[in-house]
Chain A
Amino acid sequence: MSGGVIHEEEVLGKAYDSRLMRRLVGYLRPYGRQVTFAIATIVGNSALQLAPPYLTKTVIDHYIPARDLSGLTVIAVLYLTTLVASFAFEYAQTWTMQVTGQRVMFDLRMQVFTHLQRLDLRFYDRNPVGRLMTRVTTDVDVLNELFTSGVVSIFGDVFTLVGIMAVLIWMDWRLAIVAFSVLPLIALITQWFRRNVRDSYRTVRAWIARINAYLQERITGMSTVQLFRREERDFAAFDDIDRAHRDANVQSIFYYAVFYPAVELVSALAASLIIWYGGGRVMADLLTLGSLVAFLQYSQRFFRPISDMSEKFNVLQGAMASSERIFALLDTPVEVKSPEVRRELDTASLVRLKPDTTGGPETTGGPETTGGPDTAGGVIEFENVSFAYVPGEAVLKNVSFRVEPGQRMALVGATGSGKTTIVNLLLRFYDVQEGRITIDGIDIREMDLAELRATFGLVLQDVHLFSGTIAANVRLGHSEIDDAQVRHALESVHAWGFVSQLPGGLSAPVAERGATLSVGQKQLLSFARALAFNPRVLVLDEATSSVDTETEFLIRDALKVVMRGRTTIAIAHRLSTIQDMDRILVLHKGELRETGTHQELLARRGIYHRLYQLQFKERAEALENAS
């Protein structure tokens, strides 16, 4: 259980990558005016920072010896002016830069999310949802720091440093060189600190991730831990991780504990040098006392930006790693998309983008009766289709079949036989690799993607609900489906019974992932959803999990309602569903092996017969006993 597993997210790469940086800067382009303004305020503010020590010098060298009180007042007014101006500059800069950063992050987040909405399902197979979420949320937020605090303060720091150096050289270049002589030391210390802190930061982050993962898992599974009396061993394992985390932290404290005093020491060294060499020059009348004081004050301001900059380094590094991951996502091409030139189906025959709007509770018929899909046209055909998720491991081999309009077809086969793949290809979640799929003779790859998918109503085994209301989960984003239609759909699939019991009825909230609803209720809701969309073709992946008998009957009946008058393609697990089908396709290891009706296939005593015996043996036995 121990050992430093470093997650992908924890790996930090180069601190600066000009290719990535250029691309990042590209996102600032729409905000050129704001950026220019922000840079101007930074430069202005850096210049103002140079004023106070110089004013002090002037006071000591001129006004005090001259006993000029009114001159002092002028200086005080000047001083106040720089303070106020500096306040204004800083405020303007922070506001402009950070708001721009937010806008850029907004743009970037939208871009990532929009791209994710188009990316192939194949991409989702490779990347767990948790990782993709990190791209949209955390990675973008890390970049935000780069745009606001990180880069900007480095700009400011550099300007300040350059300004101070210029003033020092101008005042006394010899003393300036003496004061600068400590710079290599600072560079060495910073380098040492940066390298070590980066490594130890990485280790600490890896351990804290381990702690959180472990804790999260054990809290969620605490009952299991307790049932199996694992408390002591788990505690020991947790103690190991916790200890490693502490040790990594103690290591990193060491670097900080050395770094800050070391920078102060170098700063004191600079002050000593200024007093020693500068003092000599004051005595030789080559330097005024005020200049010496100004030198001391400038040298103090000199070191602050340097230690700041070393901290910014981590930000920069994290940002580079994040942007690399984000760009990798954005650069992933979309393969399944609408063609440039689209071929349209005869709309009268099959495609119906808008659900029927004539139905409603006050009229007797609902969508499935008055606006029921007419079954003319819409022949679905698989022609020699082959497909593999992983090259070399064919999931479908040379599959051909034809579904007539209005026909009900069941797909049957063992796990891994390719049933789900047929559904995936039909909706173009993936594209076929060989052969083609046509609707009324038109290759689905030549059709508009949205139009194609509008043809189908998909009901999945694992019902996905969104947080929102019951009604919103039925109509999804199609606001033209009104409450009356939603209610009618719910009634038709026997879901109204439980929905009307919920506080709020149609507008009752659905918790995240439908946590408050039972499995059976969720299935009924998904039927209602399919019905409300009134698709020409129902594509059904039946749920396998067993529910109580009452619900089982409700579901069975609801299914009949949804299938009425529609072409249906179903991955069937229930005998009752198979029973209702016009035709059954038996898939075995990716090949289409048998087709026919239930009775025909049983009579053939082939694969279907065997499957039937395996899966439904118990039921058949019970029947024998009963009769």
Chain B
Amino acid sequence: MAPDQLFRFSVITTVGVLTTIVLGTITAALMEGRAIVKAFENMARQPSVADSIQAILLIVLAILESTAIYVLLICLVFLFANPFSNIFGL
């Protein structure tokens, strides 16, 4: 592979990965914020069920967080084990 091609491949991969992880984390953070706001509103409205809301909120947050983790995994695959690098013989 020519150096020019290698340079272009690396730049495109890096820009793609950076765009993906920025969009993925922003989406997950916004949606987590919505879940937290709703949970806090309802905790303030009904303090008697605040404990059970908090327990479920923790689990829901971990599940939402895993959406960002999936994005991170895809980014890691494209950084460290790019499936297209075999085609170019890198």
Same assembly: no
Residues in B lying within 8 Å of A, measured CB to CB: none
